[in-house]
Amino acid sequence: MNPLCSGPVLVIAAHADDEVLGCGGTMAKWANEGAEVYSLIMAEGATSRDKTRDRESRNVDLAHLGLAAQKASDLLGIASVELLSYPDNRMDSVDLLDVVKSVEDRIKKINPDTVVTHHSADLNIDHQVIHEAVMAACRPQPGHPVKRILSFEVPSSTEWQSPTFGNSFIPNWFEDISDTLELKIRALEAYETEMREWPHARSIKAVEHLARWRGASIGREAAEAFILERAIN
C-alpha cells in the first residue's frame, strides 16, 4: 500500500466531476494499491443554470448526474460516493458552519488519515468555501484522525483565477498516474454533460494535455499535481 494512504482517504469536491478532474487518476492509483478511497460531493450541481434555485425542475438532471458520479466511482474503484445537496455555485449563501459540520460528520464516519480537496484560490466560489470548510473541519486537535491534507487543481477554475488574487496554485506534490490516466479519462467520459469541446479547458483533450505536462515536469508519462497543505508524521 502507498505509505501516504495507511488509512482511508476522503476526497471532498464541490461538484460531481471535480473529483475526477482534480484527482481521478490518483484515486484509481491509491484504490489499486489497496487504499479505501471515499468521495464526498457537496453541491447538487445543476441549479446554477437557472435564475432561481428550483431543485424539482432539475430532478432529471440531478438524477443523471448522480448516476454519472456512481459510474465514475465504479470505474476508479472508489469505496463509495455520497452526493449532498448544497446550492450549486451559491455555497457562499450558506453559513460556513453548516458546511463545516457536514464535513466533520463524514470525517467521524470514515475516519480518514488523508483528505484531498480544492485549492483555496480557485475561481469557483464553491471551491473556495469547501477548502475553507475542510481546513476548519480538519483542525489538528488532539485525537483528530486527519494527518494529511492535499489540494488539487481543477481545469477551468484553478488556472482562470486572477494572479492578483493571491495563493496561486504552485504544486509541491505529484502523483504518477501513468498507469491510471486512461481510467481517469473513462471516468470523465461518464460526465459527458459536464465536459466541453476542445479547446475548452474542461475538455477531455485539455485534461489529458495537463496530465501529460504535469508528468513531463517530473519525468513521468502522466501525473496529477497537488499542494500539500499539512502533514503530520
8 Å CB contact between 11 and 117: yes
Confidence of residue 166 (pLDDT cuts 50, 70, 90): confident
Q: Is the pLDDT of residue 101 over 60?
A: yes
Contacts of 68 by beta carbon, 8 Å cutoff, 6+ apart: 16, 17, 190, 191, 192, 193, 194
Report DSSP letters for 36-63, one per residue.
Answer: -EEEEEEE-SSGGGSSS--GGGGHHHHH
Average pLDDT of every residue of the chain: 93
Please tell me the distance from the alpha carbon of residue 193 to that of residue 139, in angstroms, as a whole number: 36
DSSP code of 7? S
Q: Stretch 113-119: mean pLDDT, rounded? A: 98
**How many other C-beta atoms lie within 10 A of the C-beta of residue 184?**
28
Name the one residue in this structure whose C-alpha cell is 486572477: 162
Q: Vertex 211, ends 206 and 216: CA angle to 5°?
A: 125
How does pLDDT run across 213-227, given as a tens digit for each residue? 999 999 999 999 999
Q: Vertex 157, ends 213 and 67: CA angle to 5°?
A: 95
Q: Mapping DSSP to helix (H, G, I), strand (E, B) and coil, where does residue 203 land? A: strand
Percent of the residues in the chain that have a pLDDT greater than 90, as a whole number: 86
Annotation: CATH topology of 3-231: Rossmann fold (3.40.50)
- Entry pTM: 0.94
Q: Vertex 223, ends 107 and 68: CA angle to 5°?
A: 55
DSSP code of 196? B
How does pLDDT run across 31-62, given as a tens digit for each residue? 999 999 999 999 986 655 655 655 565 678 88
Q: Is the pLDDT of residue 231 over 70?
A: yes
Please tell me the distance from the alpha carbon of residue 102 to that of residue 66, in angstroms, as a whole number: 19
pLDDT for 61 equals: 83
